[in-house]
Structure 1
């Protein structure tokens, strides 16, 4: 649940930092991690790999929190009005003046947080269900669906990938920096879906998955995508969203079931949030570059699910 890049945009039009140079990741050199899709793949085939954004996993959490804040202060707002209407001192002039000062002041105080909460709410709701990343190995291009609905297209080999500190303390993430012609100024930044603590085997696993796909293709990666996300051209179902939240605790099944009473209402908010959002659509030029051969053996998506080896003919 790291919101760096969503609540506050990544800094751009700035020099590439020394740490970003020090922690640069090479597109042509394997990292120390084993590749893992980490529940991020929407579609994979011989033409392109499409992943979700890092905000998709906990979609609905910000809406739930801000919705609670709005309801809390709305209740306080209504309570003050009720007091004003029912407890107004009709006979005591001194108390009337005090009351007339107290009520407007109270209304102002309880109403201040509501615009801020609405601002946070609109960061997640009434936007897009997700913000996909498309890695096209046939053209060597990376396509990024921006938060405002526009797209960025940049050559894979020209992106400066680096480990950067995430917003959450002690966590890191892989960011792609689009640089100026002199390779020293950051013009734009996007981020891969996964973030993890330094030293975690999962920190570079998703990066290695993407890197290996772009450099070597999908052959050795196909069976690593066992649970593709069925969100390419539709909103997720309620149960799919609930299962996606539960999956964050899959390493500890008992904890997942203990958390389920909290995750279930969050899944309801997530479902409502998704239905306020539009489904992202790639521009025609991006779609034209992403045509897939119907006979492609390396397709993995909702229409081409994973089949365990023992069930294959």
Structure 2
């Protein structure tokens, strides 16, 4: 984040590695049974026993088909892009979206219709979708999701949205910079295994330590799958036209990146920072948030703030 542009990761970056780890575990068992079935079938044939070959043939065929489809699911995370960034250009009021197909979607900020994503599934996950409309103002021609997905209550969506909106529309960029506590180290590089694991483990309070014995093995498994996904995936590169539109000044007063992450990152992700560090960050963020509220109140009235 700087005075010209703000870049976020994609909606699915936070959980990257979890789907492929679970599917990969199932796939490993299926592969084991497929190899065992092939070995037993070949062994029986060499011993002159042809009584079970038809049943085992269909079983092996079914297992191989299962492996094929499971592998295709895993490859939705592996051998892709490390992430699919979204860049908001404050200067020219444009949004650039790196899409899964490798194309870059460009749209004026004022012409994108944003709405809450419809929740679905057993545990609803709320998000924010941006819709590109046709000239009739009603037909949706393209849609992209912002990098937020919240299970259960949708209350936190408004906070995320207001951060993005304020960056693009209000004069409070330096204060917004004070609110950012953690940036993924993925700009022009792949995240490390350690950071990927930290990102998966990240806790909001020490109360979550209760679930650590259960969650840590799952996080480690997902961390391995996440690392494989990162190592086998290419780093997204913006086209030259986007880079030319996002040139920043060398002395830009706003410069937020992974270099500003908490010094003791493990303590931060485990909600176990030293009291002094926590209070300093909390005070800084509270002061910045209050300044933003004052600016919004002056512009829109106290009721809006």
TM-score range, shorter chain: 0.7 to 0.9
- Residues 264 and 306 (structure 1), Cα distance of their counterparts in 2 relative to 1, 3 Å cut: closer
For residue 87 of structure 1, the aligned residue among 44, 51, 70 is 44
- What does residue range 283-298 of structure 1 map to in structure 2 within 5 Å? 283-298=239-254
Q: Is the CA contact 1:130–1:280 (under 8 Å) kept in the aligned structure 2? A: yes
For residue 235 of structure 1, the aligned residue among 167, 170, 190 is 190
For residue 112 of structure 1, the aligned residue among 44, 51, 65 is 65
Q: Is the CA contact 1:53–1:131 (under 8 Å) kept in the aligned structure 2? A: yes
Give the deviation of 1:219 after TM superposition.
2.4
Q: C-alpha distance in 1, partners of 2:149/2:58?
A: 44
Instruction: Tell me the equivalent position of 1:263.
Output: 219
Where is the helix percentage greater, Structure 1 or Structure 2? 2
Q: C-alpha distance in 2, partners of 1:180/1:270?
A: 37
- Alignment coverage as a number of residue pairs: 264
Q: C-alpha distance in 1, partners of 2:221/2:56?
A: 35
Say which SS state the counterpart of residue 231 (structure 1) adopts.
Answer: coil
Q: C-alpha distance in 2, partners of 1:174/1:204?
A: 10
Q: C-alpha distance in 1, partners of 2:75/2:54?
A: 33
* TM-score, reference length from structure 2: 0.80
The superposition leaves residues 29-57 of structure 1 with CA deviations (integer Å, 9 ceiling, x where unpaired) of xxxxxxxxxxxxxxx11101100111101
1:250 aligns with 2:204: yes
Q: C-alpha distance in 2, partners of 1:134/1:256?
A: 35
Say which SS state the counterpart of residue 117 (structure 1) adopts.
Answer: helix
Q: Is the CA contact 1:250–1:256 (under 8 Å) kept in the aligned structure 2? A: no
Give the deviation of 1:254 after TM superposition.
0.9
* TM-score, reference length from structure 1: 0.78
Say which SS state the counterpart of residue 64 (structure 1) adopts.
Answer: helix
Instruction: Tell me the equivalent position of 2:149.
Output: 195
Instruction: Tell me the equivalent position of 1:272.
Output: 228
The superposition leaves residues 97-123 of structure 1 with CA deviations (integer Å, 9 ceiling, x where unpaired) of x42322211111211211211211121
RMSD: 2.3
Q: Is the CA contact 1:176–1:190 (under 8 Å) kept in the aligned structure 2? A: yes
Deviates more, 1:288-297 or 1:100-109: 100-109
Instruction: Tell me the equivalent position of 1:77.
Output: 34
Give the deviation of 1:292 after TM superposition.
1.1
- In structure 1, the gaps of 5 or more residues are 1-43
Q: Is the CA contact 2:4–2:248 (under 8 Å) kept in the aligned structure 1? A: yes
Q: C-alpha distance in 2, partners of 1:265/1:90?
A: 41
- Residues 45 and 168 (structure 1), Cα distance of their counterparts in 2 relative to 1, 3 Å cut: farther
For residue 172 of structure 1, the aligned residue among 126, 132, 139 is 126
